[in-house]
Amino acid sequence: MARFDLVGIGMTSQRTRNRLVERLREKGVTDEDVLAAVARVPRHIFIDEALAHRAYEDTALPIGHGQTISQPFIVALMTQTLLTECRGRVLEVGTGSGYQTAILAHLGESVQKIFTIERLSHLIDRARERLGAMGCRNVRYRHGDGYQGWPEEGPFDGIVVTAAPPTVPEALLSQLAPGGRLVVPVGGDEVQELKVYDRVDDAIEVRTVDHVRFVPLLKGIR
């Protein structure tokens, strides 16, 4: 009986995940690797039980400590934007719940290894546990300040920042490999520009792809 119930829950969540994938397609997500990752990663395990029934709505949700798990559309958009250029080693700043990390870890050959940094020790510990339980072996975790990047492991082919600094952190630009791409929301508290920085030879090219709303990238760790 218990087993039957578990199978039932698994199928329900797969159906709701497939519906989420369809919504993301309607909103313009086209990368099949990203959509396949969204279909595979169970978002409800990254959210407190009290809110788990809303896991497959396309909205941001609170994860405690004033932080949020990003809206699936934004996770998909940022990942798709990153993948257009980057293959290989990816740095994520702002692990939070670990949902975006899990999406990156399910992109198959597109991404070889993920390095993720979070300033709140409680959140990085839980993300490590969840991703470990899911069997993600290609992720390294760091409790640290994302403004500094991860110089010992750089340069990176891709960097994605899931909290907003007021201006682009120089350390992150300097840790971009040739041909690498940084995707980062830049701006104040209310609304930010989602910016893409490409390292082309010795120059950096920048453009704005959208307007978004993220929690701020804060200084220092806790």
d(CA 191, CA 164) in angstroms, rounded, equals 9
d(CA 69, CA 216) in angstroms, rounded, equals 13
Catalytic position from the list 13, 70, 110, 174 = 70
Among 45, 72, 83, 96, binds ligand SAH (CB under 6 A): 96
Told to check if 187 binds ligand SAH by CB under 6 A, we report: no
Told to check if 150 binds ligand SAH by CB under 6 A, we report: no
- The yes-or-no answer on residue 121 being catalytic is no
Minimum CB separation from ligand SAH for residue 5, in Å?
28
Give residue number: closest CB to ligand SAH: 96
φ and ψ of 192, to 5 deg: -130, 160
Beta bridge partners of 161: 93
d(CA 189, CA 212) in angstroms, rounded, equals 11
Pairing of strands 192-200, 203-212: antiparallel
Tell me, by CB under 6 A, how many residues bind ligand SAH.
Answer: 23
* 117 neighbors 95 (Cβ within 8 angstroms): yes
Question: Which range in 19-27, 68-76, 149-157, 197-205 contacts ligand SAH by CB under 6 A?
Answer: 68-76
Told to check if 116 binds ligand SAH by CB under 6 A, we report: no
Told to check if 82 binds ligand SAH by CB under 6 A, we report: no
d(CA 32, CA 138) in angstroms, rounded, equals 21
Radius of gyration of the chain (CA): 17
Question: Which range in 17-25, 89-97, 183-191, 195-203 contacts ligand SAH by CB under 6 A?
Answer: 89-97
> Which residues are marked as active site?
70
Footprint of ligand SAH (CB under 6 A): 67-70, 93-94, 96-97, 99-100, 117-120, 123, 145-147, 162-163, 215, 217-218
